[in-house]
Amino acid sequence: MRILFLGDLVGRSGREAAIAALPGLRQALRLDLALVNAENASHGFGLAPDMADALFAAGADVLTLGNHSWDRKEIIPYIARTPRLIRPLNYPPGTPGAGVAEVTLADGRRTVVMNLMGRLFMELLDCPFRAMAELLGRHVLGANAQAIVVDFHAEATSEKMAFAHACDGRVSLVVGTHTHCPTADAQILPGGTGYQSDLGMCGDYDSVIGMKKEGAVARFIRKVPGEKLQPAEGEATLCGVFVETDDKTGLARMIAPLRQGGRLSPTMPEI
């Protein structure tokens, strides 16, 4: 199975770049599944329903969220009726939406996409390790799922790495999101799980993690809250990772980063 996962969309720049690129990427990489973290798509904070609809129409199969899940309140009724939009699984019971999406391809292959959030330097949610272990008792790679993909939305690379090793051999791919800077450690772990500590963002990299530089820099220098941060609106770089899995085992056969457009050095998976 061929899967592309694009990192956090930040504002209009990242959102429009992803919408424009997804149809071509699906064709060029012969994708079976396109996944996108969209928690910062709406002006840098949250996701609006019309923007989710546009991403689905462009070819995204599942959208994931994170700590900005509820910044746009209108997403609450939308997520309740949209199973392909998921928020972190380890939010407390009763939180709107779901943390898992199941996608069955036209040929019958079944993929499970999971979204969890770390706790180190983040909100103290339920334990993601425990939530993941419980879920993997029901979704078994190579048995009732041909692929299992996890978006682990977390601040610390140590927690991301530990989480990936805890899942190694039981899921196809673990990707980190949230920090908006693509890491250079795309690899296949010893047990066969693909991994990258952070996908990076889809947005303008002439910025501070996607936000206009002036306001962000002033906050660090003056230590006085200023006007609300605004997304940078220059040309976006698309960042993500491509993985090809074995349909029998569900494990990763190859993994490669993707960077396209904007300021960062480009790289395209070779297939």
Question: Any idea which residues carry the catalytic annotation?
Answer: 68
Q: How many Å apart are CA 253 and CA 150, to the nearest integer?
A: 17
Cα→Cα distances 114→23, 29, 74, 227, Å: 23, 23, 22, 35
Q: How many Å apart are CA 204 and CA 217, to the nearest integer?
A: 16
Burial code of 92-130, b = ≥16 C-beta within 10 A, e = fewer? eeebebbbbbebeeeeebebbbbbbbbbeebeebbebbe
In contact, 35 and 4? CB cutoff 8 Å? yes
Q: How many Å apart are CA 194 and CA 164, to the nearest integer?
A: 9
Residue 160 corresponds to which amino acid? Answer: K
* CB-count exposure of residue 166 (10 Å: 0-12, 13-18, 19+): middle
Question: Residue 103's beta-bridge partner residues?
Answer: 111
From the centroid of its chain, how far is CA 25? 16
Count of CB atoms situated within 10 Å of the CB of 190: 9
